[in-house]
């Protein structure tokens, strides 16, 4: 463009921000952006880009195209996968090039399918993170994720997540790393100091369950177990809950006992430990207290 003294000023990249992600569903979400300056050159294209990798670009990622010019715009994000973390940011293109707004991450929800047991309680029909109700005891698609007790749905629960030995000093870890400890004692925890208020009820801090659901108590698990044909892993899978032997993730980050054992967290605390339901293929069930650093399965109950 030209100014009063006829000296040419080269255009610059647009200036913009990314709108917070809202209306997050299983496969869709809404975002957008606001372009506050066009850099002296008309904005010919604008929208958002998203990816499961950080720093998405219009060249490498899926995008929307939402008009031209400056100002506010809304973008509908579609074609997502359930229970997946995405990174989104707005973009604006002028004659100089493309600039991007701040990156925002969000995680799509899981579809909610339920069953009602003989106790009259409503449960989700699959483990958190499972893509389907297991068709057999060795159906890996029915295993789901392995959560450290009290942590939110931040990516650490994925069986492919990497590890760190750095404990968190807050309830929100801020990364997707599975936190390990040197040993597996009653005090072993991903958080220091421990917080007994996590996962307590439907509105509990870091509750990983969908809205209206929560982690069951020890007593609620034991009530269900009493209705099974056999009180072990075989009876658990034969029950309406179809509980698979999904294994566990140990304090050192190693996943073990797939196909043979199942560990399901409760919200019930025993001093420094938390009760978990342990099911083995041969032995009877037990609801023992285990360190919070371990990664176990979660099955949610309706409040």
DSSP code string of 13-61: --EEEEPPPBS--SS-EEEEEEEEE-TTS---EEEEEEESSSS--TTTS
pLDDT band per the 50, 70, 90 thresholds, residue 249: very high
Cα 231 from Cα 244, distance rounded (Å): 13
Cα 93 from Cα 111, distance rounded (Å): 36
Q: Is 273 in the same domain as 168?
A: yes
- CB-count burial class (<10 Å; 0-12, 13-18, 19+) for 224: buried
- Is the Cα torsion angle 296, 300, 301, 303 positive or negative in sign? positive
CATH value at residue 102:
2.60.40.10
Q: Is the pLDDT of residue 1 over 50?
A: no
In a domain, residue 19? The reply is: yes
**Per-residue pLDDT tens over the stretch 270-281:** 877 788 877 765
CB 11 within 8 A of CB 40: yes
Cα 51 from Cα 37, distance rounded (Å): 26
Q: Is 85 in the same domain as 213?
A: no
Q: Is the pLDDT of residue 257 over 80?
A: no
Q: Is 73 in the same domain as 129?
A: no
Q: Is the pLDDT of residue 11 over 50?
A: yes
Q: Is 198 in the same domain as 88?
A: no
pLDDT band per the 50, 70, 90 thresholds, residue 283: low
Q: Is 123 in the same domain as 69?
A: no
In a domain, residue 184? The reply is: yes
Of 87, 107, 127, which one is at a domain's C-terminal end? 107
Q: Is 130 in the same domain as 261?
A: yes
pLDDT, residue 5, reads 57
Query: Residue 27 belongs to what domain range?
Result: 15-107
pLDDT, residue 143, reads 95
Cα 244 from Cα 234, distance rounded (Å): 9
- The token pair at 259 is 């196909």
**Per-residue pLDDT tens over the stretch 85-144:** 899 999 999 999 999 999 999 989 878 999 999 999 999 999 999 989 999 988 999 999
CB 289 within 8 A of CB 278: no
Cα 233 from Cα 222, distance rounded (Å): 14
pLDDT, residue 116, reads 98
pLDDT, residue 2, reads 45
In a domain, residue 4? The reply is: no
- The token pair at 33 is 């952006």
Angle at 202 between CA 242 and CA 84, to 5 degrees: 65
Of 79, 107, 135, which one is at a domain's C-terminal end? 107
Q: Is 58 in the same domain as 118?
A: no
Report the number of distinct structural domains present in the chain.
Answer: 2
In a domain, residue 274? The reply is: yes
**Per-residue pLDDT tens over the stretch 45-77:** 999 999 999 999 999 899 999 999 999 999 999
In a domain, residue 120? The reply is: yes
Q: What percent of the chain has pLDDT over 70?
A: 95
pLDDT, residue 220, reads 94
Mean pLDDT over the full length of the chain: 91
Nearest residue to 297 via CA among 140, 169, 122? 140
Of 107, 142, 174, which one is at a domain's C-terminal end? 107
Cα 56 from Cα 49, distance rounded (Å): 6
In this predicted model, which residue has the larger pLDDT, 5 or 184? Answer: 184
Q: Is 83 in the same domain as 144?
A: no
In a domain, residue 135? The reply is: yes
In a domain, residue 9? The reply is: no
Q: Is 20 in the same domain as 164?
A: no
In a domain, residue 5? The reply is: no
């Amino acid at each position: 463009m030209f100014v009063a003294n006829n000296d040419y000023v080269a255009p610059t990249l647009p200036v913009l921000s990314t709108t917070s992600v809202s209306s997050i569903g299983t496969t869709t979400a809404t975002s957008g952006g606001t372009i506050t300056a066009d850099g002296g050159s008309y904005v010919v294209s604008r929208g958002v880009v998203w990816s499961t990798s950080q720093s998405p670009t219009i060249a490498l990622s899926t995008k929307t195209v939402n008009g031209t010019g400056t100002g506010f715009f809304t973008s509908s994000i579609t074609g997502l996968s359930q229970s997946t973390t995405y990174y989104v940011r707005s973009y604006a293109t002028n004659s100089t090039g493309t600039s991007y707004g701040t990156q925002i991450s969000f995680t799509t929800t899981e579809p909610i399918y339920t069953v009602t047991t003989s106790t009259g309680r409503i449960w989700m029909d699959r483990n958190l993170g499972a893509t389907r109700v297991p068709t057999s005891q060795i159906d890996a698609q029915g295993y789901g994720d392995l959560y450290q007790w009290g942590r939110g749905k931040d990516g650490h629960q994925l069986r492919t997540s990497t590890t760190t030995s750095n404990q968190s000093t807050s309830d929100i870890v801020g990364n997707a790393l599975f936190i390990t400890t040197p040993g597996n004692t009653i005090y072993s925890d991903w958080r220091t100091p421990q917080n007994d208020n996590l996962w307590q009820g439907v509105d509990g801090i870091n509750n990983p369950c969908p809205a209206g659901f929560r982690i069951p108590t020890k007593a609620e698990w034991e009530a269900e177990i009493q209705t099974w044909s056999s009180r072990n892993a075989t009876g658990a899978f034969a029950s309406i809950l179809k509980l698979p032997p999904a294994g566990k993730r140990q304090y050192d980050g190693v996943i073990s006992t797939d196909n043979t054992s199942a560990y399901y967290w409760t919200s019930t605390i025993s001093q420094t430990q938390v009760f978990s339901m342990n099911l083995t293929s041969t032995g009877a069930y037990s609801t023992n207290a285990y360190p919070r650093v371990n990664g176990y399965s979660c099955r949610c109950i309706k409040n």
